[in-house]
Amino acid sequence: MNWTHFPCLGEVMEAEGTYPEQCDFVAELENLLHEFQLRFRECNGMKAHFHFFRNPFTFDPNDFTDSIVNDVSKAQLEILEIKCDDELARSHAQMNPAEFWQTVNQFAYPTLKTAANKLLCMVGSTYSCEQLFSQMNVVKNKLRNRLTQDHLMCQLRTSINSYSPRFDNIQYTAD
């Protein structure tokens, strides 16, 4: 087996004479892959919408769903109109998608602009998602592996919340 990218693992495998199929880490990786597929299954359904956000000029209007736009028929008409706008096409070629959607006129393309803003907010919230996964590893560890989903969500909500009460004000109003 080729261990070029994992030299330490290769040394361990050669020393112990075991193969990856016999190791515990294969089962763990398969379990991790399964968990990722469960947690991010919604992203597969959003691929077309990410394509729309990245390049509306090559987007197929029939790929819109009501999960991202309120009125699919209106969005389809607007996407056909935006494809005919040469000035927007030129500006799209010179900007990244986030900058491009900031220049799109809200009144000319209200449905598309709203959909792009929804997608832009999703992309901007990846930090929170990463922070949540890191905090979940701290909260749900080997010693606390029996937390229910509800208790885990409550623990995570309080652990990532930056709110801190002003105790001095509370004491002052109580006196």
Q: 100 pLDDT exceeds 80?
A: yes
Cα-based distances in Å from 8 to 3, 11, 13, 14, 16: 8, 5, 9, 10, 12
Would the pTM of this model clear 0.85, i.e. be above it? no
pLDDT tens digits along 116-127: 988 887 755 566
104 contacts 88 by C-beta, under 8 angstroms: yes
Indicate the DSSP class of residue 58.
S
What would the two tokens of residue 141 be? 């560890």
Rounded CA separation 104/33 (Å): 39
- The rounded mean pLDDT for the chain is 81
Q: Where are the domains of the chain?
A: 1-39, 46-124, 131-162
Q: Which amino acid, 57?
A: F
pLDDT tens digits along 148-159: 888 888 887 777
pLDDT tens digits along 17-66: 666 555 667 777 888 888 888 777 777 777 888 888 999 999 998 888 87
